[in-house]
A and B are shown apart, each in its own frame.
Chain A
């Protein structure tokens, strides 16, 4: 890979670093954690060692015999499950971390509600997923090429959630003190096949099940690459690809957390604090 515009050589490493950063910001300690999503082993073992957790459970979505699990985990507490069918008791963990997985879920609100329920009161939820800006250049080029070629389009890039929607979903799922923030990272590729190879290595190929199979011809990708080069190339003539990483933080509601006062319950006037006249409009 050449011309990486970011110090991080891998988008995955970058996304995981963002998550760990959020965790380091938290001063409270945890006892029992669920780490789920993609390539969880590394973080799970890190948590056990550095954060002194009693138990870390590892959740994965794919079959253990499947090709997705390169590294064999040394953590014994592994479960294969689906975020839309969460198999955990209520209020059983005090930390749930979802790594680069929730963009695969069909029913994101449902998944968030289920994950929130398995958190104890005042338990922390952290998640990273790819956001709406991800691969917008590729999407645009493919749509344009396909329109030229066939007069119609097929969904070839998975749909991603917008950062604003993600924040709203956290609220809807009942999380307290919700935060959704996004980071965009640009990378450069020599060619479209190189970009596809990288996506394949990341395990992030098209998740849309209803797409037409066998219709993506070599000609389509040739035209798409041409359009991509015309519209989104860097000074050096490489293809620029954007990745948006959304990091979600939310707490399971608890009496001990700070809350806004009820409207009208103020004991002092804002105008007094600001030393100004109160005007009615």
Chain B
């Protein structure tokens, strides 16, 4: 699979849609993590999916 990396410009403007807090970018998994909200937003073909309804819950482990 050839994952398209997210454009750095996007990382500069994005925050968590729920808490408006910072996001961490997991390059390996192509995911944006909001620790405050406990949500993981996926990035598909370089396009971040910032929908709380489609975000995955952050595992507690």
User: Are A85 and B13 interface neighbours, CB within 8 A?
Assistant: no
User: Are A82 and B10 interface neighbours, CB within 8 A?
Assistant: no
User: Are A64 and B13 interface neighbours, CB within 8 A?
Assistant: no
Q: Which B residues lie within 8 Å of A65 (CB)?
A: 44
B contact face: mostly helix, strand, loop, or mixed: mixed
Known contacts A80-B49, A81-B50, A82-B51; is-contact A87 B15 (Cβ 8 Å) = yes
A contact face: mostly helix, strand, loop, or mixed: loop
A108 at the B interface (CB under 8 A): no
User: Are A88 and B13 interface neighbours, CB within 8 A?
Assistant: yes
**A76-133 with Cβ < 8 A to chain B:** 76-82, 85-90, 92-93
Mark each residue of chain B from 1 to 29: 1 if its CB lies under 8 Å from any CB of chain A, else 0. 00000010110111111101000000000
**What residue of chain B has the Cβ atom nearest to residue A82's Cβ?**
B51
A6 at the B interface (CB under 8 A): no
Q: Which A residues lie within 8 Å of B50 (CB)?
A: 79-82, 85, 87
A57 at the B interface (CB under 8 A): yes
Q: Which B residues lie within 8 Å of A64 (CB)?
A: 44-45, 47, 49
Q: Which B residues lie within 8 Å of A78 (CB)?
A: 46-47
> A93–B13 Cα gap in the complex (Å)?
9
Q: Which A residues lie within 8 Å of B54 (CB)?
A: 63
Q: Which A residues lie within 8 Å of B46 (CB)?
A: 76, 78
Instruction: Name the contact of B18 in the complex, choosing from A79, A85, A88 (C-beta under 8 A).
Output: A85
A158 at the B interface (CB under 8 A): no
> B16 CB to closest chain A CB, in angstroms?
7
> B17 CB to closest chain A CB, in angstroms?
4
User: Are B7 and A76 interface neighbours, CB within 8 A?
Assistant: yes
> A86–B18 Cα gap in the complex (Å)?
8
User: Are B45 and A85 interface neighbours, CB within 8 A?
Assistant: no
User: Are B48 and A80 interface neighbours, CB within 8 A?
Assistant: yes
Q: Which A residues lie within 8 Å of B18 (CB)?
A: 85
B38 at the A interface (CB under 8 A): no
B residues near A (Cβ < 8 Å) are 7, 9-10, 12-18, 20, 44-54
A residues near B (Cβ < 8 Å) are 55, 57, 63-65, 76-82, 85-90, 92-93
Instruction: Beyond the given A87-B14, A89-B12, please list 20 additional residue pairs across the A-B interface where CB-CB is below 8 A.
Output: A63-B49, A77-B7, A77-B9, A78-B46, A78-B47, A79-B10, A79-B48, A80-B49, A80-B51, A81-B17, A81-B51, A82-B17, A82-B50, A82-B51, A85-B51, A87-B16, A87-B50, A88-B13, A89-B13, A93-B13
Return 22 A-B CB contacts under 8 Å, by A number.
A57-B13, A64-B44, A64-B45, A64-B47, A76-B7, A76-B46, A77-B9, A77-B10, A78-B47, A80-B47, A80-B48, A81-B50, A81-B51, A82-B17, A85-B51, A87-B16, A87-B48, A87-B50, A88-B13, A88-B14, A89-B12, A93-B13
